[in-house]
């Protein structure tokens, strides 16, 4: 298998978002959870996104993990590797965007790296190097108060310079809007001044298409899903990827088995989706106090579900109203209660799979991450979307055999999301 595009994502949800964006823009894509064992066979795909958890670790650790992932991707043919970062450029002054970008560039023999977190679809645009979140500069947006990485400077040339050894330049919108030749000319000029990475402006998707085309001529780029969109469209335009609408059909080949829903998200959308699901399937509401008190509540839930799943899908939810959640959090602590409930829902998911569930819907970002970790699923082939941002996933190399999953961030999906998901999973 030879892949055309590789990507290393600095966190799991960012990786999923990118993998879905690449799929929507014409690339058959696999997302891995960490670096895969070399014995695991991948399906024939155009792109592989390696999910790491390196956004907020020490820079040296991030560099070591990313370099290893890069080697893995290059060995499988990736001529270009995108370092996928958050579209709000989350990082501290110590990194890790600068150090990882420089390490990947050095491993590929050096050269100027294009960098842009622009993703117009989600309101992230870059103008004269300044990142806007909706209509606000980054440092005036809610990101200024981010608990891990508060962003106090919207000027990404400065932000990246603080975490880089090399000089940082700018490819401004004038050049980007003028097209690939103008960008190339600007990059040539920047190279003569010793610049090693350049923030590129982008407001519209066509700007990202231009940047994607130019980035493909280099071995490394750094950006968010927006740059992924640009790279994917450029690859399709170049004729290297066969175009065709039926690309995701293979991902949703039936897997059989039983089906279930596990919900740990307490978002308003998920609470409403559970109410709607109750009309068409048995729904068990877990008692969060009992969940925290010991294993009995989850054992009871496993036998409740075990008694019913052979007759049709069931849903089990830890989800509760904001009042219940804050009561529990003030009693047990936010982190401790969240973590304990994630452990319980992931145990439940694993037990359901052990009882024959092969089609599984999980509601909640952290809840999904914990379930995927517990199930030890090495990788996913990305299928068609159930709702914007939520594709059907087909497991790759799963010890329990092929499964179909839908992993939903809390607020995603319409009110019939659960039945819509199951209708696409056979
Ligand atoms: P979302 O995508 O909506 O943010 P997450 O799964 O990421 O959902 O986060 C929800 C968090 O709330 C998880 O840590 C989950 O374990 C926790 N949780 C679930 N049910 C409850 C509850 N009843 N009380 C307190 N916390 C809960």
Indicate the pairing of strand 220-223 with strand 80-84: parallel
Whether the Cβ atoms of residue 359 and residue 259 lie closer than 8 Å to each other: yes
Residue 318: CB partners within 8 Å, gap ≥ 6? 263, 264, 286, 288, 291, 341, 344, 345, 367
Query: What backbone torsions phi and psi does residue 144 show, to the nearest 5 degrees?
Result: -65, -20
| Reported pTM | 0.93
413: Cβ below 6 Å to ligand 1?
Answer: no
**Peptide bond before 351: cis, by omega within 30 degrees of 0?**
no
Atom number, ligand 1, closest to the C-alpha of residue 409: 2
Q: CA of 267: how far to CAs of 105, 320, 365, in Å?
A: 40, 9, 11
Q: What is the pLDDT of residue 243?
A: 67
Q: In what order do the strands lie in the sheet with 136-137?
A: 124-127, 130-133, 136-137
**What mean pLDDT value characterizes the chain?**
94
| pLDDT of residue 268 exceeding 70 | yes
Cβ(337) – ligand 1 distance below 6 Å: yes
For ligand 1, the distance from its centroid to the CA atom of residue 302, given in whole angstroms, is 19
Mean pLDDT over 351-368 rounds to 96
Helix (H, G, I), strand (E, B) or coil at 354: helix
Pocket test for ligand 1, best of 13, 263, 265, 323 (most atoms within 8 A of CB): 265
Give residue 56's pLDDT band: very low, low, confident or very high (50, 70, 90). Answer: confident
Cα separation, 137 vs 140, in Å, equals 5
> Is the C-beta atom of 325 inside 6 A of ligand 1?
yes
pLDDT in tens, 96-118: 999 999 999 999 999 999 999 99
- Return the domain boundaries, the chain: 5-238, 249-424
Q: Which of 123, 126, 106 minimizes the C-alpha distance to 115?
A: 126
The pair of three-digit structure tokens given for residue 354, joined into one six-digit string: 């052990």
Query: Is there an atom of ligand 1 within 6 Å of 265 CB?
Result: yes
Q: What is the mean pLDDT of residues 177-189?
A: 98
pLDDT score of 122 more than 80? yes
Tell me the pLDDT tens digit for each residue of 2-18. Answer: 899 999 999 988 999 99
Q: Tell me the pLDDT band of 245, cut-offs 50, 70 and 90.
A: low
Distance CA 69, CA 387 (A): 30
Decide whether any atom of ligand 1 lies within 6 Å of the 49 Cβ.
no
What integer pLDDT is reported at residue 146 of this predicted model?
77
Our answer on whether the CB atom of 369 is closer than 6 Å to any ligand 1 atom is no
Q: What tokens does 240 get?
A: 């290297």
The answer regarding whether domain 5-238 maps to CATH 3.30.390.50 reads no
pLDDT value at residue 143: 81
More confident residue, 145 or 267: 267
The answer to whether residue 407 scores a pLDDT higher than 90 is yes
Distance CA 39, CA 379 (A): 13
The answer to whether the beta carbons of residues 330 and 396 sit under 8 Å apart is no
pLDDT at 149: 78
The CATH number fitting domain 249-424, selected from 3.40.50.300, 3.40.980.20, 3.30.420.40, 3.40.50.150: 3.40.980.20
pLDDT tens digit sequence for 61-100: 999 999 999 999 999 999 999 999 999 998 888 889 999 9
**Distance (Å, rounded) from C-alpha 1 to C-alpha 83?**
21
- As a whole number, mean pLDDT of residues 104-133 equals 97
């Amino acid at each position: 298998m030879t892949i055309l595009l590789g990507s290393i994502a600095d966190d799991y949800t960012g990786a999923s978002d990118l993998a879905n964006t690449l799929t929507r823009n014409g690339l058959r894509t696999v997302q891995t959870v960490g670096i895969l064992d070399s014995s695991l066979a991948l399906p024939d795909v155009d792109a592989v996104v390696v999910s790491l958890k390196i956004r907020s670790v020490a820079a040296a650790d991030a560099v070591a993990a990313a370099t290893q992932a890069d080697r893995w991707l290059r060995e499988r043919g990736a001529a270009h590797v995108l370092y996928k970062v958050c579209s709000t450029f989350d990082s501290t002054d110590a990194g890790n965007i600068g150090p990882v970008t420089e390490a990947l560039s050095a491993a590929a023999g050096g050269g100027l790296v294009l960098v842009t977190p622009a993703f117009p679809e989600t309101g992230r645009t870059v103008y004269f190097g300044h990142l806007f979140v909706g209509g606000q500069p980054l440092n005036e947006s809610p990101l200024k108060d981010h608990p891990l990485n508060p962003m106090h400077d919207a000027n990404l040339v400065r932000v990246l310079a603080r975490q880089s050894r090399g000089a940082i330049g700018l490819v401004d919108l004038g050049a980007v809007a003028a097209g690939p030749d103008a960008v190339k000319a600007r990059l040539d000029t920047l190279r003569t001044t010793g610049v090693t990475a350049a923030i590129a402006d982008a407001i519209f998707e066509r700007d990202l298409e231009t940047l994607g085309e130019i980035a493909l001529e280099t071995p490394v780029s750094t950006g968010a899903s927006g740059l992924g969109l640009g790279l994917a469209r450029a690859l399709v335009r170049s004729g290297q990827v066969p175009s065709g609408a039926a690309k995701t059909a293979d991902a949703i080949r039936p897997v059989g088995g039983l089906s279930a829903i596990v919900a740990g998200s307490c978002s308003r959308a998920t609470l409403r989706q559970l109410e709607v699901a109750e009309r068409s399937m048995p729904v068990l509401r877990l008692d969060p106090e009992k969940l925290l008190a010991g294993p009995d509540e989850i054992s009871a839930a496993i036998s409740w579900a075990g008694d019913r799943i052979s007759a049709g899908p069931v849903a089990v939810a830890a989800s509760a109203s904001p009042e219940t959640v804050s009561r529990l959090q003030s009693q047990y602590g936010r982190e401790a209660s969240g973590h304990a409930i994630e452990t319980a829902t992931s145990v439940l998911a694993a037990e359901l799979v052990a009882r024959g569930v092969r089609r599984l819907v999980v509601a909640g970002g952290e809840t999904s991450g914990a379930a995927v970790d517990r199930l030890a699923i090495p990788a996913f082939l990305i299928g068609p979307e159930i709702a914007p941002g939520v594709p059907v996933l087909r497991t790759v190399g799963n010890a329990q055999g092929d499964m179909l999953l839908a992993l939903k961030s809390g607020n995603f999906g319409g009110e019939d999301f659960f039945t819509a998901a199951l209708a696409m999973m056979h």
